[in-house]
Chain A
Amino acid sequence: MSEIAGAPGTADAAGGPEPTTERKTSEVLHFAVRNPKLLIGLGIVLSLLLLGIIGPLFIEHGPNEYVGPKSQPPSGEYWLGTTSFGQDIWAQFVFGLRATFLIGVFGGGVAFVIGTTVGFVAGYKGGIVDEILNMLTNVVLVLPALVVLIVITAYLEVRGVFIQGVFIGLTSWPWAARAVRSQALSLSTRDYVDLARLSGRRTWRIITTEIAPNMSSYLVMSFILLFGGSILIAAGLDFIGLGPTNGVSLGLMLESAMKWSSLYLGMWWWFIPPGLGITAIVGSLYILNVGLDEVFNPKLREL
């Protein structure tokens, strides 16, 4: 243990001020690069993301165009085969990955912004503000979110990835708000928060510069969970036919595979790639989250 460079025990105790930042960062890095869960999760997510970004650049036809022979199994020309209408499944898959990540970013992002804002304000302000925001959070929390989403999306004539993401975000923020609120509640009683008030700081600056940095790991993990959650909800909506009307996504691919009886026709290359894609993204996000938890929380470290 003590031979490992940068291990906490071996750090130079008489170090100056600068080494401390490095020591703290290097300690997190030290555990991060040795955590298999984090590395595996991050590896899968990043490679799928890269595929979603770069893959479409090499495909000159649109994902829904009828380009090839019908119902072909995977071959050298069509890597993942074709649908029963002659669409290229590989093209659909890489475009679908892109749409799925976009949904995660929009949905997770909107939910994260609303959730943390509500949580921070409620936790920091306390009193009547807290009561009102908490009530709002609880109301949204008990709404049957999927039903509301189905009703809303069924009303919209044209649905894009962006609109879908926003609506998912608007219904999935409450638990993040509750989690952030409880942390902010405990952090805002610290003396340094009082001291910042005595230094004439405004509320939002106290929240962003005193409280939020102390729970940054917590915020990162909240965002990852919201990101994965949005992807799952979007896949569910797509599957029941309420996905984007003007594009392609992994959920939509699953929907059309089911609709055109790929399962009975034995066209496994039609439904396995999107199903596996969604499972891989969400599954590795959760593994990544557990890994991050172990890196940030010394009590969970296995080393």
Chain B
Amino acid sequence: MLELSHVHKVYRVGAFGGGRLRAVRDVSLKVESGEVVSLIGESGSGKSTLGKMVLGLFKPTSGVISFDGTDITTIRGHAARKAYYRRVQGVFQDPFSSFNPIFKADRVFEMIRSSYFPGTSDADWRERVLKAVGTVRLDPENVLGKYPHQLSGGQLQRLLIARALLLDVDLLVADEVISMLDASTRIDVLNLLADLKERGMAILFVTHDLSLGNYVSDRSVILRKGAIAEMGPTARVFENPLHPYSRHLLSCVPQLHRTWAEVDAEMKANPPEDIDLPVAPDEESAPLLEAEKGHFVGIDQG
């Protein structure tokens, strides 16, 4: 459904735009319908940039992002863009900054209504909003008609997901939706995402947290310095990490019943087998090597 092929994003930096910052380097990946794909990476690995490019908020420097066969960078005009957002929506990292502070929070629903459902009657729309709010397990009494500062981060984040539900989108770009939430609401939102997946919605789940990626996704993509380090079915990536960076990341996850020393000792005792990583022929490309079926490993960037 969504396909990225050799996508690059280079920012100009510095006073006169002389410097170059490569935020995304030669990324190719696919998201099928009803599939959850995690984009995992540290800060600055380009994962949010990728999400925003899929949402059409940034333009890729080169490469093609296609949705159902249409290159989204060729979408011109307001009507076509609106039609694209009818099917693809995003939820951003910071729920507090996603709402205009001087208006009531449910104004986000009204915007959807005036843009996409101008003909719906008040009663009908009210019912749909109540249903969507119910689906994200919020009490309409508590959240509708309130200002953003009167609601918690978790409530706001779920309102944004409800907003995407109203449109019944095919692809949801969830950019670090969990990171601002406390632990108890976290699992609710994760389960909600799993429910949405059951309904056939594809989700591009951007996160820096390995365990969250593991919890929800079918496939995982580990990004490092803008390039794909490892990509494959989540179970394989987590059981058998091939790239040194993925191994390092996985070894950094704190474990409830073991200390660092024990983990380090075990790693030393049976070091994982190294595989030959692909080598990039130049500064720009980042080839992938298929180590097992559907399990790719990327270049070593030191």
Would you give the shortest CB distance from A196 to chain B, in whole angstroms? 7
Chain B residue at minimum C-beta to C-beta distance from A193: B100
Max count, chain B CB within 10 A of own CB: residue among A197, A199, A201? A199
Interface of B is mostly: loop
Q: In this assembly, does B212 line the interface, its C-beta being within 8 Å of a C-beta of chain A?
A: no
Q: In this assembly, does A214 line the interface, its C-beta being within 8 Å of a C-beta of chain B?
A: yes
How far is it, in angstroms, between the C-alpha of A200 and the C-alpha of B55 when the chains are bound? 12
Q: Are B94 and A201 neighbours in the complex by a CB distance under 8 Å?
A: no
How far is it, in angstroms, between the C-alpha of A195 and the C-alpha of B57 when the chains are bound? 10
B111 contact set on A, CB distance < 8 A: 196, 199, 201
Q: In this assembly, does B296 line the interface, its C-beta being within 8 Å of a C-beta of chain A?
A: no
Q: A200-B82, A213-B102, A214-B102 are in contact. Are A194 and B92 (CB under 8 A)?
A: yes
Which stretch (B33-41, B144-152, B251-259) binds chain A? B144-152
Q: Are A17 and B104 neighbours in the complex by a CB distance under 8 Å?
A: yes
Q: Are B100 and A210 neighbours in the complex by a CB distance under 8 Å?
A: yes
Q: Are B112 and A17 neighbours in the complex by a CB distance under 8 Å?
A: no
Q: A191-B94, A194-B92 are in contact. Are A199 and B112 (CB under 8 A)?
A: yes
How far is it, in angstroms, between the C-alpha of A78 and the C-alpha of B101 when the chains are bound? 57
Contact flags A184-222 to B (C-beta < 8 A → 1, else 0) = 000000111011111111100000001001100000000
Q: In this assembly, does A20 line the interface, its C-beta being within 8 Å of a C-beta of chain B?
A: yes
Size class of B's contact patch?
20 to 34
Interface of A is mostly: helix
Chain B residue at minimum C-beta to C-beta distance from A24: B102
Q: Are A199 and B147 neighbours in the complex by a CB distance under 8 Å?
A: no
Q: Are A20 and B147 neighbours in the complex by a CB distance under 8 Å?
A: yes
How far is it, in angstroms, between the C-alpha of A195 and the C-alpha of B116 when the chains are bound? 14
Chain B residue at minimum C-beta to C-beta distance from A216: B102
How far is it, in angstroms, between the C-alpha of A199 and the C-alpha of B92 when the chains are bound? 13
Q: Are A199 and B57 neighbours in the complex by a CB distance under 8 Å?
A: no
Q: Are A201 and B115 neighbours in the complex by a CB distance under 8 Å?
A: yes
Contact flags B101-115 to A (C-beta < 8 A → 1, else 0) = 111100010011001
Q: Are A191 and B98 neighbours in the complex by a CB distance under 8 Å?
A: yes
Q: In this assembly, does B81 line the interface, its C-beta being within 8 Å of a C-beta of chain A?
A: yes
Q: A192-B99, A202-B78 are in contact. Are A197 and B94 (CB under 8 A)?
A: no
B150 contact set on A, CB distance < 8 A: 17, 20
Q: Are B100 and A192 neighbours in the complex by a CB distance under 8 Å?
A: yes
Q: A191-B98, A200-B85 are in contact. Are A17 and B116 (CB under 8 A)?
A: no
Q: Are B81 and A195 neighbours in the complex by a CB distance under 8 Å?
A: no
Max count, chain B CB within 10 A of own CB: residue among A192, A196, A201? A192
Q: Are B55 and A192 neighbours in the complex by a CB distance under 8 Å?
A: no
Other-chain contact of B85, A192, A199, A213, A214 (Cβ < 8 Å): A199
Q: A191-B92, A197-B57, A199-B85 are in contact. List 11 more A-B contacts (CB 8 A).
A: A17-B145, A17-B150, A20-B147, A194-B52, A194-B55, A195-B92, A198-B90, A199-B108, A199-B112, A200-B115, A213-B102
Enumerate 24 A-B pairs (CB-CB under 8 Å) in ascending A order.
A17-B146, A190-B97, A191-B92, A191-B93, A191-B98, A192-B97, A192-B98, A192-B99, A194-B55, A195-B98, A196-B111, A197-B57, A198-B85, A199-B108, A199-B115, A200-B82, A200-B86, A200-B115, A201-B111, A201-B115, A202-B78, A213-B100, A214-B101, A214-B102
* Residues of A bordering B, CB below 8 Å: 17, 20, 190-192, 194-202, 210, 213-214
Which 3 pairs, one residue from A and one from B, show the smallest C-beta to C-beta distance?
A200-B82, A200-B115, A199-B111
* Residues of B bordering A, CB below 8 Å: 52, 55, 57, 78, 81-82, 85-86, 89-90, 92-94, 97-104, 108, 111-112, 115-116, 145-147, 150, 160
